[in-house]
Amino acid sequence: MADAAAVAGADRIAAAFADHGRRAALMPYLMAGFPDRDGSLAVGEACVEAGADLIELGVPFSDPLADGPVIHTAATEALARGATVDSALSVCESLSARVPVVLMIYANPVLARGAERFARMAADAGAAGLIVPDLPHDEAGELRAACDAHGLALVPLVAPTTTGERLASICAQARGFVYTVSLTGTTGERSQLPPELSRTVERVRAAAPVPVAVGFGISTGEQARRVAELADGVIVGSRVMRAAGEGGAQAVREVVAELAAALAAD
């Protein structure tokens, strides 16, 4: 049985989506350990101070599946400076007192420790949920059960190419929110939103009993505002990480403040 603090973790995600007071919840992505451990913590604190409702915290991994060049570079540099799963969890622990933190981690580090052990480690670090982009839905049962036991939300991903049957199956077991990938491809800034995004989000909304958040390709306030007209949450990664690399926490604060202002309710 999970303790009360762990159970509250998943509840914090629901509260962040319900109580953000804007068109949609804002979830910046940051890489634990980039530019270094203390620098990533400063970036996370800047996100919170500038208006983030949740944080997606990437755990550096050497062979990422979904990351575009900006985030991949951040992971590579973090690993070169000694970042580990444990140091990423320490960043999570420091930030989780202020905002719900959803860990984005690849399957290998999770499976190497075992689903039960890793779920407990994440819960002990204050995480509210996990995103494991390379863990197929059909193989996620053990980790989902472990997350449930420790009060974590195992957040699934869906894409524009996800079939109706599979979408229904994924959404039926969704926890926290459904991460809707806006396009086919990796993370990265795009000059335009995909023309089929409205239809994609509409399909997910029809199947999902939890909030729907959109990520991949969102980089400007105007894009965030348009996504907020469709979805419950807006996830911005590469733009935030580019700012972290170019100007550190202050640059990130400015970017997140711009995004938060764009999502402000009229």
Known catalytic residue at 134: no
- How far apart CA 131 and CA 55 sit, in angstroms, is 12
Tell me how far apart the alpha carbons of residues 189 and 239 are, in angstroms, rounded to a whole number.
6
- DSSP-derived letter for residue 264 is B
DSSP 66: S
Residue 181 backbone phi and psi in degrees, to 5: -75, 125
CB 60 within 8 A of CB 87: no
Q: Which of 45, 53, 67, 232 is catalytic?
A: 67
Q: Would residue 3 show up in a list of annotated catalytic residues for this protein?
A: no
Pairwise CA distance, residues 177 & 99, whole Å: 16
User: In a 10 Å sphere around its CB, with 0-12 CB exposed, 13-18 middle and 19+ buried, how is residue 227 labelled?
Assistant: buried
- Alpha carbon 163 to chain centroid, angstroms: 23
Per the CB < 8 A criterion, the answer to whether 13 and 177 are in contact is: yes
Residue type, 259: L
* Residue bearing tokens 């400076």: 81
Among 45, 53, 56, 232, which one carries the catalytic annotation? 56
Catalytic residues: 56, 67
